[in-house]
Structure 1
Amino acid sequence: MYTCLIVDDENKSIETLSKILLEYCDNKVQILGIANNIDEAYPLILSLKPNIVFLDIEMPFGSGFDLLEKFDKIDFQVIFTTGFDQYAITAIKFSALDYLLKPINIQEVKDAVAKAIRNIESRQLNDNFKILLENLRKPKNTTNKIPLPVINGLELVQIDQIVHCQADEDYTHLFLKDGTKKVVTKSIKDFEELLTEYGFFRIHHSFLINKFYIKKYTKGEGGSVITELDTEIPVSRRRKVEFLQWLNEL
């Protein structure tokens, strides 16, 4: 059996999560303790050494991210829990880490626990916390890094190095400034959600483009753009008006 610690300042959330872990996770996880803030959580993690920490993001007297900053090395799995905080959620997604959105859902808890256990059994610790904390210090900065789930692992790439993304069924091809291409096991919709606020626009159902690399727009039924890599990409007729408005606002 694996062990966990719950860090949350809301008793209702603690009760809900505890009940789900006890009743729906097949006795795979034992709750070692509960902390209501980071000052309580830090010594408990050091002494109890849980395999998994369920970590609320928004708490009085310090956030869940502040707690992680206290550790030189994070040798436990973290599953974040949060209300609607879009920026925090985006940062967590960028770092390829897990989170539960309140109110907590039974199936999402089961899935997150199963993934954490797989990581523990394969001795795969989360090495993406540094990326997460760096990105949080630089909100909406195009030099932020994103971990890409490529075929043989994870690869870190700066956002400002991505010229455009192209859909390929359940995969996405990322074309980088240096002319290289990465094949990533995420859909283009995932990248649209992550990158839109960083200056990317979905100009076609198959293409997402970085505004910093648009060299030219050519008129037509939908038209097309030429990138700094001299790649011509079609603009869908449906997105043309919105795209041109977006382009004129840059």
Structure 2
Amino acid sequence: MITSVIIDDEEDGREAIASALTKYCPEVTISGMYATPEEGIAGIRQLKPSLVFLDIQMPEMSGFDVLQQLSPVTFEVIFVSAYDRYAIKAIKFSALDYLLKPIDVDDLVHAVKKVKERLHTEKNIYQYQSVVNNIQLKSGKIEKLAIPSLTGIDFVDTADIIFCRADGSYTTLFLKNKQSCLASKNLKDFEHILAESGFCRIHHSYLINLRHVQKYIKGEGGQVLLTEGHYADVSRRKKEAFLALLDTL
């Protein structure tokens, strides 16, 4: 059996999850339901559940604040949200599960199935640390990115990323001061989470930080000169949109 708790400030939200679990996920037992983050934190510390259903938007303290209070996270989490596109970006980037309200039964069953599979493998606490850091947003822009790597997790200021280059199913990030790191995410994942933080996909292999553009070199597609002497090709298909963005800087 999987022991669980539900943290949601809305009674209807708690009851909807509890009812669906009872009917469609009998392998999950509900040890406690909490209306406030503070009660939920105390309940988790006391009951030590295997799984927490955690509402993202709650008064005074978000679901991510709850995780920070409980770090390191030793339980599985399924996030619940009425819809927060920035939060969901960070959750998906960290390869974690979320449910949108109103709860869809098929989504719930699928999320619980994935939790069951993960419970039989080594826990990756880095995923939860990653999502907490990736959600620290100001004006919708991510300022610090928690990047899953082959050895753990790297924390990088987005302002320090000069550009990202696709390397198969991985991505190499080129950083200030001649540093770099290899991330176990593909370039599309980085494009998705950084699109509103001043980054532009100029080629199927390159995602650049517009703050580091020093010169555009004309050509069929052209090239950009970036800080620290880096060059990146611009594809013909991406050229028009890229030049339009440059005009807004």
TM (normalized to structure 1)?
Answer: 0.81
Residues 76, 125 of structure 1: 8 Å contact kept: no
What's the counterpart of residue 8 of structure 1? Answer: 8
Q: Deviation per CA, 1:28-64, whole angstroms, max 9, x where unpaired?
A: 3211121122243233223222111111011245432
For the structure 1 residues 212 and 60, does the alpha-carbon distance in structure 2 shift closer, same or farther, using more than 3 Å as the test?
Answer: closer
> Aligned partners of 1:73, 1:184: CA distance in 2, in Å?
22
Q: CA deviation at 1:196?
A: 1.5
* Alpha-carbon distance change, 218 to 90 in structure 1, aligned in 2, over 3 angstroms: same
Would you say the 8 A contact 1:142–1:160 is kept in 2? no
1:158 is displaced (CA, Å) by 3.1
Within 2, Cα distance between the matches of 1:51 and 1:134?
A: 22
Report SS of the residue matched to 1:5: strand
- The 1:126/1:38 distance shift into structure 2, 3 A limit, reads same
Corresponding position of 2:43: 44
Q: 1:44-123 counterparts in 2 under 5 A?
A: 44-71=43-70, 73-93=72-92, 97-123=96-122
Q: Determine the C-alpha separation between the residues in 2 that align with 1:66 and 1:115.
A: 24
Q: CA deviation at 1:211?
A: 1.4
Aligned pairs, number = 248
Identity of aligned residues (%): 41
Letter in 2 for 1:3: T
Go from structure 1 to structure 2 and tell me whether the alpha carbon gap of 1:95 and 1:14 turns closer, same or farther (over 3 Å shift). same
Please state whether the residue corresponding to 1:198 is helix, strand or coil. Answer: coil
SS in 1 for 2:43: helix
Quote the Cα distance in structure 1 between the aligned partners of 2:147 and 2:114.
Answer: 18
Q: Distance in 2 between matches of 1:176 and 1:143?
A: 14
Aligned CA-pair RMSD: 2.9
Moved more, 133-142 or 118-127: 133-142
User: CA shift at 1:129, angstroms?
Assistant: 4.7
Q: Which letter does structure 2 place at the counterpart of 1:36?
A: A
Give the Å deviation of 1:170: 3.2
2:70 alignment partner, SS class: coil
TM-score by length of 2: 0.82
Are the equivalent residues in 2 in contact too, given 1:94–1:147 (CA < 8 A)?
no
Counterpart of 1:165 in 2: which secondary structure?
strand
Give per-residue Cα distances to partners, 1:105-151, cap 9 Å, x unaligned: 34443443344344443342524555554555552666513222x34
Q: For residues 231 and 198 of structure 1, what CA distance do their matches in structure 2 show?
A: 20
**Counterpart check, 1:177 vs 2:176:** yes
Q: Structure 2 CA distance, aligned partners of 1:243 and 1:99?
A: 33
Q: What letter is aligned with 2:86?
A: Y
Whether the aligned pair in 1 keeps the contact of 2:52 and 2:77 (CA below 8 Å) is yes
User: Which consecutive unaligned segments of at least 5 residues does structure 1 have?
Assistant: none
State the alpha-carbon separation in 2 of the partners of residues 143 and 9 from structure 1. Answer: 29
Q: C-alpha displacement at 1:6, in angstroms?
A: 1.0
What is the DSSP-based 3-state SS (H/G/I as helix, E as strand, rest coil) of the residue aligned with 1:88? helix
Between the aligned partners of 1:185 and 1:73, the Cα distance in structure 2 is 22
Q: Which amino acid aligns with 2:9?
A: D
1:215–1:228 CA contact under 8 A, matched in 2: yes
Alpha-carbon distance change, 134 to 186 in structure 1, aligned in 2, over 3 angstroms: closer
- Which contiguous aligned blocks of 4+ residues in structure 1 show a shift greater than 6 angstroms? none
C-alpha separation between the residues in 2 aligned to 1:156 and 1:134?
8
Amino acid paired to 1:48: L
Tell me by how many angstroms 1:10 deviates: 3.2
Residue deviations 1:64-108 (CA, integer Å, cap 9, x gap): 234334435433222211122123223444555432232333444
**1:1-250 alignment, distance < 5 Å:** 1-25=1-25, 27-71=26-70, 73-93=72-92, 97-124=96-123, 126-127=125-126, 129=128, 132-134=131-133, 136-137=135-136, 139=138, 143-148=143-148, 150-250=149-249
* Paired residue type of 1:165: C
In the alignment, the residues of structure 1 paired with residue 116 and residue 5 of structure 2 have an alpha-carbon distance, to the nearest angstrom, of: 14
Runs (5+) with no aligned partner, structure 2: none
